[in-house]
Structure 1
Amino acid sequence: MNASLAFELSPHDFLVKTDISPIQVSPNTFKGFIANQVDLLMALETPVVIWAKLPRGESWQGEIDRCIALAGGPRSLFLFRNTLEETSDEQTAVQEVLNPLVVDSYRSHATPQDRLVTLHLAGDMLLRREFFFIVWSSQFCNGVCAQRSRLKRGSELSEVENEVAEPPIEPTEKRNQLSLVHTLDPSRIQQLLLRLESLVRSSSFEVTDHLSPEAPYTLSQIVDQWHSYGIQQPLPTSSPQLINQLLGKHLHRQEELWQRSNTYRKQAEIVEVLQIQNEELINTVRAKDEFISNVGQELRTPLTNMKTALTLLNSPNIKPPQRQRYMDLLVKECDRQSSLIGSLLDLVSLDQMAERQTLQPITLSDVVPGVVSTYQPLAEEKGVRLAYTIPEGLPAIACLNPWLRQIVVSLLHNGIKFTPRGGQVWVRAKQQGDYIQLEFKDTGVGIPVQEIPKIFDRFYRVRQIAMDDPGGAGLGLTIVQQLLLRCGGSISVKSRPNDGSIFNVLLPTYQYRDAEKASE
């Protein structure tokens, strides 16, 4: 065969030229296909010759070890290796070492016909992107060739032979796809081996003879010996049973790979869920730590003020007006402390309250008028007009009576507190689909736009400076929001400084069961 012709086509391209259509496979599938053939050879226990150029990596080294350990009489293995690994930046020498224990075991059972040889390829371009696994025996012949795709690096093409191990089956694996051709035709495999022989004779190879390191065979002797294995003898015939067995092994392995991939995917999903739960727990612990820290600071402030007032009251030179001022301060700080403790207890009790299925049908007209009448004296004392509008026939809401009462109390109290004399506070209700909207509107000092997202945070207080008021515990709106969340409602705010505020509360209507409707 003409040497120049051998260099024109690589083993992969040669088989493609013989009208064998290539298929695109993943490195995982390619490895499984080779492993199936090794399984079959181990089961046959027949003399065999293998020519192999496989990717680097521990998983592939395991397949080479299995090939070396094949039983069944004379067998030979010719391994092709690249001496250099070329990357886009440099060339790095790669040292390929066979497992010494496996080689020693092979050597102890080897016959004079056996060969275990590594052919080191220095720089041949045709084989640098090629992988192949060619089997020749009296019962079974098989040829598999695969070729890596060219990878673009900037404006240049880089041909890289990296490790093709067993990456996970992911969309990113598409960039590592291999073009694979496969034949069981002994005549084509014979032509492929003759072409490989011509290529070896015409290229620069270094030989490592693992069985005769002291007196190694030359490259020419090794290639000449290939003919003694029957390559030029009458062609063997692969039985349909062996082909079916190979196909069965391949399908079985692919099913195992699919099951393994499915297991890994489920495990990854579980890990992701656990990570999310762990982050939620960490955030919860961090929030509780911050809450406790804030509680400590909030409790300390009124206690410090009360202690200061008590110290000043003990002064022998204190005047009656000063004494009264300090007494008023004590009363105010005691009220503040009491409000804070009461609000904290309310927050704690929320976690122990009944869930949504215990909600009851509550009519707004049974709660809102009573709360408004309770706050009417306070509004009149401040010179604030207080009114409400609850239309008749509104459907009942799903809530608990104490929850609804606390929501109305907190929002009315805030409205009156931050509305100056001559202002107005009123409550309006109307239906919106499956919800009842309860609007609390005032003409008070309003809230700066940048402060609105923070007003539901625990211990956050606003507007007290403008009103010259020390404010409450900073938990009222937090409790309102939590109560609404527990009954499926929500709250929103519209406000501008000196233009009042509108708190819109949405409460779900109570959905009666069919039996309850029938009994009405």
Structure 2
Amino acid sequence: MNVSLAKDLSVYQLVIGVQVPPKPLSLSPATLLSLVRAQIDLLIEQQIAATLWVKLPPEKIWQSELARYQSSVGASSLIYTCQIDERGRRGDGGDKGDGEENTFLSPSSSSSPSSPSSHHVTVHFPPDSQLRRENFLMVVSPQFCSLILAHRPLKKRKNQTSAKVNTNKNQPLLIITTVEGRIIQQVLDGIEKAMSDDKPLGVYAPESSPIVPADFICPTMPQAATMTQLFAKQLLRQDEINRQIITARTTKLQQINQELHNKEQLQDEYLKNLCQELRIPLTHIKTALSLLNSPNLKPPQRQRYLQMLNTQCDQQNSLISGLLELVQLERHLDGMTLESVRLSDVVPGVVSTYQPVAQEKGIMLAYTVPTELPSIWCVSGGLRQIVINLLHNSIKFTANGGEVWVRARLQGNYVQLEFRDTGIGIAESEISKIFDRFYRVRTGVTEDYAGAGLGLTIVQQLLLRCGGSISVKSKLYEGSTFTVQLATVDDTPKAIAIENE
């Protein structure tokens, strides 16, 4: 059974309009839930068949309370479920609501606790009703009457030109609880007047389901024993809610502590690795300087030690430069904005830069980047850095006479950029480690492939920021293929959209 009500109605205004109204308390939604549960506990224990007027959030945790009551006392009870009729929104600008969604948690759909029956009436209110900011449970019976009412006041932003309002779900509620018959009668009279005033407008209010019997009078106050039981149940339910809150907060604090501990361990490991990486070149430099002081040193040996000094100085410089680049990247990466980039504007230029290096080693270097590929998302300068690091690795780990290919193609909503070489390859056991800081591939060849071990780490960080990914296929001594996927501008990944909101 359904009833539509065109007239605006505010239970909160009806309550505070009585002489000597009860004082609202600023409480949390959790407290409101504990009050509702205690009320239902009492009705079930006392087997009180009552008429309920209800407007509660649509979530299962709230609606299950009504279902619990109906399953115990439903055969002789009547429930009026009030809800905002979203379907009644007018397309002519007639919706002049405050902009908040129904209830405190989320927009309401059908809030019926069970299938429609003669014991359940849905009362529809217009979209701009003040009830949008109100939730309540009103119990009406000859033995016991009560009202639990929560009102969320509007909190306007400082910018008065904005039409938006603060809808923070954690905002405290103004909650009123009362068992005074005069207040509950005032609310009933207000509801009945609203419904009767709207009858000329064609609103249907079935006589078979009156709000209350004509001879009904709200009891002034419940019996003392009933109130004692109600207070006891409220304390139990509030204690239960408090324990749940404490458990949730304790779990959250434990998670935070574990994250801090893990972060501290990572920092310790990072510093340990950094010290080790700085120590190794210095040890080689000190050894070479000691040998150069030998009076019996021959010119070829002197030349070898001088070359060692030069190599280790380059290694130290590469390490320091890589560290500075990584630190700057990690510090500012989250704040970097994404920009639209075309691969055909970046890849050919980088490949041309490395052509002389490839020719010196006798490596065939080629690329295929169709100009019709869509633009992709990346941080400013990030795509160039990704291509430089991956191409540099491919050439460095490819022996003389080898081949390196760079190929781009469209794969669904991503552009796939592939770096394939015929180099020394990577052992399967090492593939999962190559993106770690300072990690360098171990090979059995004698050629020196010294580096900072930070290039792939930087590539991975850049790809994480722009919603891309990287994968590796490799076999030892047979070459490697690094495949990068970058989101096209026409299909931004959800991760990017969330970060930029």
Q: TM-score, normalised by structure 2?
A: 0.52
User: Would you identify which runs of 4 or more consecutive aligned residues in structure 1 move more than 6 Å?
Assistant: 240-243
State which of 265, 273, 279 in structure 2 corresponds to 1:286. Answer: 265
Alignment partner of 1:425 out of 401, 404, 419? 404
Matched, 1:304 2:273: no
Tell me whether 1:477 sits opposite 2:456 in the alignment.
yes
**Structure 2: which amino acid aligns with 1:298?**
E
1:508, distance to aligned residue in structure 2 (A): 1.8
* TM-aligned CA deviation for residue 315 of structure 1: 1.6
Q: Distance in 1 between matches of 2:374 and 2:294?
A: 62
Residue in structure 2 matching 1:444, options 412, 423, 428: 423
The C-alpha deviation readout for 1:200-225, integer Å capped at 9, x for no partner, is xxxxxxxxxxxxxxxxxxxxxxxxxx
Deviation at 1:488, TM superposition (A): 1.5
Is 1:403 aligned to 2:382, yes or no?
yes
Structure 2 CA distance, aligned partners of 1:357 and 1:379?
33
Residues of 2 paired with 1:357 and 1:244: CA distance? Answer: 66
C-alpha distance in 2 between matches for 1:452 and 1:512 = 30
Partner of 2:305: 326
CA contact (8 A) 2:379 2:462 kept: no
Distance 1:414 1:470 in 2: 10
Match of 1:381 in 2: 360
Contact 2:397–2:449 (CA under 8 A) maintained in structure 1 = no
Match of 1:74 in 2: none
1:249 correspondence with 2:228: yes
Unpaired segments of 5 or more residues in structure 1?
Answer: 1-28, 37-239, 514-520
2:437 match? 458
User: CA separation in 2, counterparts of 1:512 and 1:435?
Assistant: 8
User: Structure 1 291/354 Cα, relative in aligned 2: closer, same or farther at 3 Å?
Assistant: closer
SS of residue in 2 equivalent to 1:276 = helix
Q: Distance in 2 between matches of 1:353 and 1:250?
A: 59
Alpha-carbon displacement from aligned partner over 1:231-284 (angstroms, at most 9, x marks no partner): xxxxxxxxx999953333223322221122112212211111111111111111
For 1:467 and 1:431, the matched residues in 2 are separated by 39
Partner of 1:502: 481
Separation (CA, whole Å) in 2 of partners of 1:350 and 1:413: 19
After the TM superposition, which residues 350-365 of structure 1 pair with which residues of structure 2 at under 5 Å, given as runs?
A: 350-355=329-334, 358-365=337-344
Q: Does 1:412 align with 2:412?
A: no
- Offset at residue 490 of structure 1 (A): 1.3
Stretches of structure 2 lacking an aligned partner (at least 5 in a row):
1-37, 46-218, 493-501
Which whole-Å CA distance do the structure 2 matches of 1:356 and 1:467 have between them? 43
Task: Give SS of 1:450's match.
Answer: coil
- Please report how far the alpha carbon of residue 386 of structure 1 lies from its aligned counterpart in structure 2 after TM superposition: 0.7
Amino acid at match of 1:503: F
Q: Equivalent residue of 1:316, what SS?
A: coil
The question of whether the paired residues in 2 share the 8 Å contact of 1:445 and 1:463 is answered with: no
1:409 & 1:293 partners in 2: Cα distance?
28
8 Å contact from structure 2 (residues 339, 379) kept in 1: yes
SS at match of 2:470: strand
Residues in 2 aligned to 1:454 and 1:335: alpha-carbon distance in whole angstroms: 24
Distance 2:358 2:380 in 1: 24
Q: Secondary structure at the match of 2:354?
A: helix
Between the two proteins, the alignment pairs up a number of residues equal to 278
1:460 Cα deviation from its structure 2 partner:
1.0
**1:454-512 superposed Cα distances (whole Å, 9 cap, x missing partner):** 11111111144425214211111111111111222111111111221111111122359
- The AA in structure 1 aligned to 2:470 is I
- Secondary structure of the corresponding residue to residue 449 of structure 1: coil
| Corresponding letter in the other structure for 1:425 | V
- Identical columns (%): 55
Alignment of 1:268 with 2:247, yes or no, is yes
Q: Secondary structure at the match of 1:494?
A: strand
Q: How far is the alpha carbon of 1:335 from its aligned partner?
A: 0.8
Q: In 2, are the aligned partners of 1:385 and 1:424 still within 8 Å (CA)?
A: yes
- CA distance in 1 between counterparts of 2:336 and 2:319 reads 30
Mapped to 2, the partners of 1:447 and 1:339 lie a distance apart of 22
Shifted more, 378-387 versus 457-466: the winner is 457-466
1-structure distance, mates of 2:381, 2:451: 21
User: Would you say the 8 A contact 1:361–1:399 is kept in 2?
Assistant: yes
* 3-state SS of 1:457 partner: coil
Kept after mapping to 2: 8 A contact 1:418/1:467: no
Partner Cα distance (2:473, 2:294) in 1: 49
Asked if structure 2 preserves the Cα contact closer than 8 Å seen for 1:419 and 1:443, the reply is yes
Q: Distance in 2 between matches of 1:293 and 1:463?
A: 20
1:289–1:476 CA distance, 2 compared to 1 (3 A): same
Q: For 2:331 and 2:290, how far apart are their aligned partners in 1?
A: 41
Is residue 435–residue 460 contact of structure 2 (8 Å, CA) maintained in 1?
Answer: yes
Deviation at residue 420 of structure 1 after TM alignment:
1.5
Shift of 1:356: 6.2
Letter in 2 for 1:442: D
> CA contact under 8 A between 1:356 and 1:487: conserved in structure 2?
no
Aligned equivalents of 1:357, 1:431: Cα separation in 2: 26
SS in 1 for 2:417: strand
Larger Rg: 1
**Aligned-pair distance for 1:323?**
1.1
* Mapping 1:139-154, distance limit 5 Å: none
Partner of 2:447: 468
Shift of 1:355: 2.9
Partners of 1:442 and 1:501 within 8 A in 2 = yes
